[in-house]
């Protein structure tokens, strides 16, 4: 009888704490207007115009690719939009340039309060951005290279410092003159910016580039495995590989492992996700360092950039989101195995002091 009662009490306590926890989560969501799965510091000032009335219609025209980066980025953007009383209308062309052009045409025709464009090809998007600006629609771009940014707010991760951080680690680990490989693709703004830094490091550190390969597809990780596999079979003495996009990094790691080279070849990547952390922290993983932002925090910060701009409070036309270089050693030292733990170990990833206002605190997943 006594045992039965104790079991019941423990079960009741467990239920109570679960209810208390979910109540906390719900009240924080209600207080800030954020998405249910997200958290935010409560705003300490009311929403200013134009956010203080009916929801503000904003089109988010995406050209996302494979992988967790894009999913988390979208979730962060949606949560921040909800908190700012923005009705975010999202389209995603998924590597189809013609579809992104048509999505953007339709967005312009719908005359939203603003348009956010996430990734895309210069040739396809530039004429339509010019058209949107001419129509008086505010435009914010993320990870897109334009030839004419007149009237446009540009945002990106700090790609140059991301590449520098991880390449400093590469040079520290394998030294000047080492045999190195490069796996990436051209025509994507962030990858092109990282490539410029790579080329400089190759020159400055006399790196011996024994192969360059790579592509971006709808299945980037899988499609890079055979490319890197072939390169490794020709160059099994390569010491380090720079693969600056996590989907490409994962494919590269897989190729290194299937050639049983993980004790000889180090891999340096860019980006982070739960899946990436699983790969990096696996025993004997060749992926030794990555430079990253928290993509959910970046998606949210892009929406804040737009919101501040519509409220007349941005005060600049380019915003870059700082990244951190994260080593395998740092993850081990801090017992980090997922992104939630990484945010605790490296709080600056939350970007909660970047493009914020008292009425617009950062929302995170």
Residue closer to ligand SR1 (CB basis): 85 or 91: 91
Residue closer to ligand SR1 (CB basis): 103 or 159: 159
Say whether 222 sits in a helix, a strand or coil.
helix
To ligand SR1, the closest distance from the beta carbon of 182 in angstroms equals 15
Asked if 211 touches ligand SR1 (CB under 6 A), the answer is no
Going by C-alpha positions, the residue among 307, 300, 232 that lies closest to residue 262 is: 232
Distance (Å, whole) CA 227 – CA 212: 10
The pairing of strands 208-213 and 152-157 is unpaired
To ligand SR1, the closest distance from the beta carbon of 188 in angstroms equals 4
CA distances for 102 relative to 88, 142, 217, 312, angstroms:
18, 18, 20, 30
| E-assigned strand segments in the chain | 39-40, 56-62, 86-92, 114-118, 139-142, 152-157, 179-183, 208-213, 240-243, 266-270, 287-292, 318-321, 324-327, 363-364
Number of residues in contact with ligand SR1, rule: CB under 6 A?
A: 11
Asked if 361 touches ligand SR1 (CB under 6 A), the answer is no
Q: Please list every residue from 158 through 197 that binds ligand SR1, using CB under 6 A.
A: 188, 190-191
Q: Which of 68, 92, 103, 143 binds ligand SR1 (CB under 6 A)?
A: 143
Distance (Å, whole) CA 146 – CA 173: 36
CB atoms within 10 A of CB 347: 11
To ligand SR1, the closest distance from the beta carbon of 323 in angstroms equals 9
Q: Which of 34, 62, 69, 93 binds ligand SR1 (CB under 6 A)?
A: 69
To ligand SR1, the closest distance from the beta carbon of 218 in angstroms equals 11
Residue closer to ligand SR1 (CB basis): 177 or 322: 322
Going by C-alpha positions, the residue among 5, 65, 79 that lies closest to residue 35 is: 79
Contacts of residues 47-54 at CB distance under 8 Å and 24 or more positions apart, as own/partner, are 47/84, 47/85, 47/359, 48/311, 48/313, 48/359, 49/311, 50/113, 50/310, 50/311, 51/84, 51/85, 51/86, 51/307, 51/310, 51/311, 51/359, 52/85
- Sheet of 56-62: strands edge to edge? 86-92, 56-62, 114-118, 139-142, 152-157, 318-321
Residue closer to ligand SR1 (CB basis): 137 or 145: 145
To ligand SR1, the closest distance from the beta carbon of 143 in angstroms equals 5
Asked if 129 touches ligand SR1 (CB under 6 A), the answer is no
Two tokens, residue 355: 């493009």
According to DSSP, residue 216 is labeled -
To ligand SR1, the closest distance from the beta carbon of 249 in angstroms equals 9
Asked if 65 touches ligand SR1 (CB under 6 A), the answer is yes
CA angle 33, 275, 365 (to 5 degrees): 10
Asked if 308 touches ligand SR1 (CB under 6 A), the answer is no
Residue nearest to ligand SR1 (CB): 245
Distance (Å, whole) CA 4 – CA 357: 54
To ligand SR1, the closest distance from the beta carbon of 160 in angstroms equals 13
Residue closer to ligand SR1 (CB basis): 158 or 259: 158
Q: Please list every residue from 236 through 275 that binds ligand SR1, using CB under 6 A.
A: 245, 270-271
Residue closer to ligand SR1 (CB basis): 193 or 343: 193
Residue closer to ligand SR1 (CB basis): 133 or 170: 170
To ligand SR1, the closest distance from the beta carbon of 199 in angstroms equals 18
Residue closer to ligand SR1 (CB basis): 321 or 359: 321
To ligand SR1, the closest distance from the beta carbon of 290 in angstroms equals 10
Q: Which residues contact ligand SR1 by CB under 6 A?
A: 65, 69, 143, 157, 188, 190-191, 216, 245, 270-271
């Amino acid at each position: 009888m006594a045992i039965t009662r104790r079991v019941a009490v423990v079960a009741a306590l467990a239920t109570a704490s679960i209810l208390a926890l979910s109540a906390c989560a719900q009240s924080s969501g209600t207080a800030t207007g954020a998405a249910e799965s997200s958290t935010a510091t409560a705003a300490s000032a009311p929403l200013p115009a134009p956010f203080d009335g009916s929801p503000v219609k904003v089109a988010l025209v995406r050209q996302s690719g494979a992988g967790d980066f894009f999913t988390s980025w979208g979730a962060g953007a949606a949560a921040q939009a909800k908190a700012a009383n923005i009705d975010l209308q999202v389209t995603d062309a998924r590597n189809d340039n013609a579809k992104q052009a048509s999505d953007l045409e339709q967005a312009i025709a719908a005359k939203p309060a603003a348009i956010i464009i996430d990734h895309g090809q210069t040739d396809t998007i530039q004429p339509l951005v010019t058209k949107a600006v001419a129509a008086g629609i505010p435009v914010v771009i993320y990870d897109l290279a334009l030839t004419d940014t007149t009237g446009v707010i540009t945002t990106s991760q700090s790609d140059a410092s991301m590449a520098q951080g991880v390449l400093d680690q590469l040079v520290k680990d394998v030294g000047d003159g080492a045999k190195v490989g490069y796996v990436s693709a051209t025509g994507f703004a962030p990858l092109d910016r990282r490539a410029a830094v790579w080329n400089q490091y190759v020159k400055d550190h006399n790196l011996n580039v024994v192969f360059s390969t790579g592509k971006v597809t709808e299945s980037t990780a899988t499609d890079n495995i055979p490319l890197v596999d072939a390169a490794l079979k020709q160059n099994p003495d390569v010491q380090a590989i720079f693969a600056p996009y996590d989907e490409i990094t994962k494919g590269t790691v897989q190729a290194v492992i299937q050639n049983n080279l993980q004790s000889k070849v180090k891999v340096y990547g860019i980006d982070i996700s739960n899946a990436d952390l699983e790969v990096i922290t696996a025993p004997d993983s060749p992926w030794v360092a990555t430079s990253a932002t928290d993509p959910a925090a970046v998606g949210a910060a892009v929406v804040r950039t737009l919101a501040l701009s519509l409220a007349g409070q941005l005060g600049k036309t380019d915003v870059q989101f700082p990244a951190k270089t994260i080593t395998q050693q740092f993850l081990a030292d801090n017992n980090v195995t997922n992104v939630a733990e990484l945010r605790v170990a490296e709080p600056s990833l939350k970007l909660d002091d970047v493009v914020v206002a008292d009425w617009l605190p950062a929302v995170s997943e």
